A = this chain, B = another copy of it.
Amino acid sequence: MRQINLALIGFGNVARDFAALLLEKKAAIAARYQVEFVCTTIATARHGIVNCLTGIDLAAALATVAAGQSLATMAQMVALPDTAAAIAASQAAVMIETTPLSLNNGEPTVSYISQALRQGCHVVTANKGPMAFQSRELRALAQARHCQFRYESAVMDGTPVFNLVEHTLPLATVKEIAGIVNSTTNFILTAMEQGQDYQAALAEAQRRGIAEADPSLDIDGWDAAVKLCVLANGLLDANLQPAMVSRQGIGELTPAMVMAARANQQKIRLIARLTNNQGQVTAQVRPEYIPADSIFYNIDAFSNLLLIETDLMGKLAIVEQDPALRQTAYGLFSDLLTIIAATKTN
């Protein structure tokens, strides 16, 4: 049985569900991979920054946080002054990174990931900022340190997108991508088609924890633009930055426009598009009229779709229906297991 140390940087809803998944699947992980995961560090803004090199009891940590208490109150915990110190002291083989980040520059996440990679630690992140803003630097660093840097959850939660292309479409080149990748705007547009008003729909999306804290990032198409950058940089080794994406949000759409489209057997959806023209990658986000026979037509509410056109496999679409928190946690989990499988002989 290999023992693999993990550092959980960020311990919000996603990371906690990931921790629950590790507990639920402990026996299956041992049976399939001959691995036991040991969490040595948890760093969270609200519940303390701690490590315990002999292993943190994750069930107890979940209970402690659920009770609103600090992780530092648990037995054998060593409290650390900040996240950088926690990463440095973690002795982790894999860092699971889920901190809140700025969607303007990807910080502080980029710094945490750089630090971990420099320490020779594999990194799994649910954040889109690092690949959108610093993909070249982070991937070069990972390669130099022989570490994996994985980010499946950054787009469409745990739905295989990066793993799909990497592991199931060998030697195929992505030519075009078109997708519905922002759940908040999709939920609002679906609700408006059903006659609800914009503010009520937005409030409902926020209540369900889908909308970003600042909804303007969703509404203005910025979130979708950032995701296009992750796709371009991850799938095509491009160096696309969010500011380079041509962008139009849904803010100027009126209920009358949505209903008029409906009367015309159309729906309006916020479509993110990426085109690879011999290595020249361009991207745009804008509302489009979707005809009734399109595969995009029935992507409602929180469902997402990515239509990927490659040179060798034509058009493939992958759809995530009605995702929940578990799907994002599963993206982290599958990335972690991919690292474990790839490093089996090391």
Question: What B residues does A28 contact at CB under 8 A?
Answer: 171
Give CA–CA (A337, B160) in the complex, Å.
19
Question: How far apart are A7's CB and chain B's nearest CB, in angstroms?
Answer: 21
Task: Using CB atoms, name the residue of chain B closest to A160.
Answer: B168
Q: Does A327 contact B (CB under 8 A)?
A: yes
Given A160-B164, A314-B323, A333-B312, check contact A298 B300 (CB 8 Å): no
B316 to A319, Cβ gap below 8 A?
yes
Give CA–CA (A298, B326) in the complex, Å.
28
Partner of A159, one of B163, B300, B316: B316
**Interface stretch among A68-76, A213-221, A235-243, A289-297?**
A289-297
A317 to B321, Cβ gap below 8 A?
yes
Q: Does A334 contact B (CB under 8 A)?
A: yes
Q: Does A320 contact B (CB under 8 A)?
A: yes
Question: What B residues does A163 contact at CB under 8 A?
Answer: 167-168
Partner of A298, one of B297, B318, B321, B322: B297
Q: Does A60 contact B (CB under 8 A)?
A: no
B319 to A314, Cβ gap below 8 A?
no
Task: Using CB atoms, name the residue of chain B closest to A21.
Answer: B312
Question: What B residues does A327 contact at CB under 8 A?
Answer: 313-314
Give CA–CA (A28, B158) in the complex, Å.
30
Give CA–CA (A295, B32) in the complex, Å.
34
Q: Does A341 contact B (CB under 8 A)?
A: yes
Considering the complex, which residues of chain A in the window 308-345 have a beta carbon less than 8 Å from any beta carbon of chain B? 312-324, 326-327, 330, 333-334, 337-338, 341, 345
Question: How far apart are A88's CB and chain B's nearest CB, in angstroms?
Answer: 30
Tell me how many chains of this kind the complex includes. 2
Interface size on A, residues (CB 8 A): 47
B170 to A164, Cβ gap below 8 A?
no
Partner of A321, one of B295, B312, B330: B295
Partner of A32, one of B167, B171, B299, B319: B171
Give CA–CA (A179, B297) in the complex, Å.
19
Q: Does A59 contact B (CB under 8 A)?
A: no
A320 to B316, Cβ gap below 8 A?
yes
B170 to A167, Cβ gap below 8 A?
no
Give CA–CA (A313, B164) in the complex, Å.
14
Partner of A337, one of B158, B171, B298, B326: B171
Give CA–CA (A39, B16) in the complex, Å.
52
Q: Does A25 contact B (CB under 8 A)?
A: yes
Q: Does A144 contact B (CB under 8 A)?
A: no
- Residues of A with Cβ closer than 8 Å to B? 21, 25, 28-29, 32, 158-160, 163-164, 167-172, 292-295, 297-300, 307, 312-324, 326-327, 330, 333-334, 337-338, 341, 345
Q: Which 3 A-B pairs have the closest CB atoms?
A: A160-B168, A167-B167, A317-B319
